[in-house]
Amino acid sequence: PDYKQHSDILESMIIKLYSKGVTTREIADLIEKMYGSHYSPAQVSNISKQMIPKVEAYHKRKLSDKFFCVYLDATYLPLRRETFEREAVYIAIGIKPNGHKEVIDYCN
């Protein structure tokens, strides 16, 4: 049970770091330095793929009934590809009649 809990914590940390844009190699190095556990970049990549079904479910979820106003905007995020580039992420934010803001969806 102790190993399972330790493993779950590390996997959660890997997913959080990956979602923040840290590369798989950097995550593997950090985990080894901080916790003494070795994860290869391929293992980190496989663990981070657990987020794909959650993201797809978010995009397909049923939206709230009404929005008073909808804002469309974009933000540029640095991405590591062949070169260091920035890519736009388009965001739709809705405001409900009670003033509560909700991210409707996003795409790149």
Q: What is the pLDDT along the chain (108 residues), one digit of tens a residue?
A: 544 555 677 777 787 787 777 788 888 888 888 777 777 888 888 887 877 888 888 889 888 778 989 999 998 877 766 666 778 889 999 999 999 998 898 887
Domain boundaries, position 51: 2-59
Q: Do residue 25 and residue 68 come from a single domain? A: no
**Among the listed residues 36, 39, 35, the one whose alpha carbon sits nearest the alpha carbon of residue 48:** 39
CA 93 to chain CA centroid, Å, is: 18
Q: What is the pLDDT of residue 72?
A: 94
Q: Which two tokens stand for residue 55?
A: 């993201």
Q: What is the pLDDT of residue 80?
A: 65
Q: What is the pLDDT of residue 26?
A: 85
Q: What is the pLDDT of residue 92?
A: 92
Q: Do residue 49 and residue 80 come from a single domain? A: no
What whole-number distance in Å separates Cα of residue 27 and Cα of residue 72? Answer: 33
What whole-number distance in Å separates Cα of residue 65 and Cα of residue 94? Answer: 11
Domain end marker among 43, 59, 75: 59
For 1, other C-beta atoms within 10 Å of its C-beta total: 5
What whole-number distance in Å separates Cα of residue 29 and Cα of residue 54? Answer: 26
Q: What is the pLDDT of residue 95?
A: 92
Q: What is the pLDDT of residue 42?
A: 84
Q: Which two tokens stand for residue 48?
A: 């981070």
Residues facing 85 on adjacent strands = 79
> What total number of domains does the chain contain?
2
Q: Do residue 41 and residue 74 come from a single domain? A: no
SS3 70: strand
